[in-house]
Structure 1
Amino acid sequence: MTSASAVPKSKKQQQFDKHDVFVQYIVDLCATNTKAQCDLRSGLGRPLESCTYLHRYLVPRLPQQDHPDQQYDDRRRARYAVASLIAARPRYARDADRAAAAEAEETSTPLPATEWWKRPNLGSSLAQGANKKLLKPTTAEEDLHLMVRQSSEALQLRLPALTRHLLSGGVRIDWSVLLDDLSWWNKDRDRVATRWLESYFRVRTLEDRNETQKENG
């Protein structure tokens, strides 16, 4: 009796699998090579043309360039930005990542994969920060509305301080989701911005909705 065939992955999920491989490479590299971590961190907030020390680590990991186009440049720039942000994680976040990796190695049952569209984006991470009192709700909302109107270059200048603050407070950043969103920012910013805003308000109001359901139940 033959087993049922696995459901084929969508192109978007296949892309996220590649993002996950890239992110894990950067996390592992920073955990095992202090110089590499320092080199990658030097790219924080810098334009790609100024990221001299990052090329040796990232060029072999860039997607194949079939022909010169803006989308390829956006994907490349996003990888440099995310690699720098990962390298600049505060110690608390690095320790948490190592602990999670060690726990995953010890268990024989892998965690089920989460569909890409269910994974937290920057909007939901900001909402978690507001819910945890790391940010004033008005400040978090104002920051979000400002970010979704900015260019990719201006946005990437704001990300180092913001992600570090969230990570220091125990809020998780899904680097693969951020990588995908930055890759599409110039070409499809309105779609990404809408997802961030929807996720922010969904997470911010989750506790209120749960309380309402309990009262009505």
Structure 2
Amino acid sequence: MTTAAEHRADHDLFIDTVHGLCQDPGARKAISRSRGRDLSHCADAHSYLAEHVFRHPIRKYAPRAHYTVAALIAATSTPHIPDQPPPQAALHAGSAAGTPLLTPLTPASPPAVDVPARTPQGAVGSPADDTADTPDSPGTAVCGPAGGTTSGPEAARLTGQAWQRRPDLGRTLAEAVLRRAIAHDSATRRLRALGKLSTDLLHPRLPALAKLLDQAGLDTDFAVLLDNLVWWDTDRARITSAWTLSFHLAVGGDTPAPTDLAET
């Protein structure tokens, strides 16, 4: 059973992998061409991403989310690297070379032995259930308050809290408002509009938004965005609510004068 903590660690690992791939200008250009596109129009990116997505035990269930985020990183001049140590262990597919690519599934219907379906009700491994990340996984341990380690439910709780402190799209949009890169009303309209979109409509809207945030000098936490996109179709209400909440908490009552650079 793959837990929420393992998913999140793998998101960071994938982001690091894409940063590595993008050190090659040719790879960066090819990957960036897939931004906002359906997988059927990502031929240039396949030679760089297919091995890292379709032959991976976690990522193969949400290939479009991974391709989209990889393209956003490739097209962004100041991609974000999370300010935290890299995962201790990679979750590699281990498939032999030459194995045919597996048919991608959606997060709503993976085999139970690999990735259990997540639901907004807080099933084990769901984004809403951080305390159930690794209740009986002996290999999970994090630093405790006295410098030691803790494991099991307590480790899962601490890991979940650390993840929740990282900025989601709502928080990053709020920072853009505070920097006067986008008007408050425009940002709230964007959030409302994005929350109503299906995956097929959401992904094409993300490149322009990512460019706006980048031009404002803001770093998008692409691992958090990836997690949101992976579960968008099955947990959209919770995700959009979280974006809206973090936006309004960050902006507060002191809203700068509206000078939306994106609309001038």
> If the length of structure 1 is used for normalisation, what is the TM-score?
0.74
Q: 1:65 to 1:40 in 2, by over 3 A?
A: closer
Asked if the contact 1:43/1:51 (under 8 Å) is kept, the reply is yes
> What residue is the counterpart of 1:145 in the other structure?
192
Q: Contact conserved, 2:35 with 2:71, CA < 8 A, in 1?
A: yes
Partner of 1:83, secondary structure, is: helix
User: How do residues 36-185 of structure 1 correspond to structure 2 at under 5 angstroms?
Assistant: 36-62=27-53, 73=61, 75-90=62-77, 93=78, 115-185=162-232
AA in 2 matched with 1:87: A
Separation in 2, partners of 1:160, 1:129 = 16
Q: Give the aligned partner of residue 18 of structure 1.
A: 10
Shift of 1:54: 1.2
Alignment partner for residue 26 of structure 2, among 21, 35, 48?
A: 35
Residue deviations 1:50-92, cap 9 Å, x none? 10011121122126577xxxx955x1110000000000003xx
User: What per-residue deviation string (whole Å, max 9, x for no partner) do you get for residues 99-155 of structure 1?
Assistant: x99xx9xxxxxxxx8721221111111111111100000000001100001111211
Aligned letter for 2:26?
Answer: K
Q: Does 1:188 align with 2:235?
A: yes
Match of 2:252 in 1: 205
Q: What is the CA RMSD across the aligned residues, in angstroms?
A: 2.6
Amino acid at match of 1:186: D
The AA in structure 1 aligned to 2:63 is R
Residues 21 and 48, structure 2, Cα contact 8 Å, conserved in 1: no
Q: Quick check: which one's helix share is greater?
A: 1
1:65–1:24: structure 2 CA closer, same or farther, 3 Å change rule? closer
CA distance in 2, matches of 1:63, 1:119: 27
- Count of aligned residue pairs for this structure pair: 178
- 5+ long unaligned stretches in structure 2: 86-158, 256-264
Tell me, in whole angstroms, the C-alpha distance in 1 between the residues paired with 2:4 and 2:54.
15
Deviation per residue, 1:151-203 (Å, 9 max, x gap): 11211111101111111211120000000100000111111111111111111
User: Aligned-pair distance for 1:13?
Assistant: 2.1
Q: What SS is found at the alignment partner of 2:231?
A: helix
| Aligned residue number for residue 110 of structure 2 | none
Determine the C-alpha separation between the residues in 1 that align with 2:235 and 2:162. 21
Secondary structure of 1:120's partner? Answer: coil
Structure 2 partner of 1:4: none
Counterpart of 1:39 in structure 2: which amino acid? A
Moved over 3 A (4+): 63-66
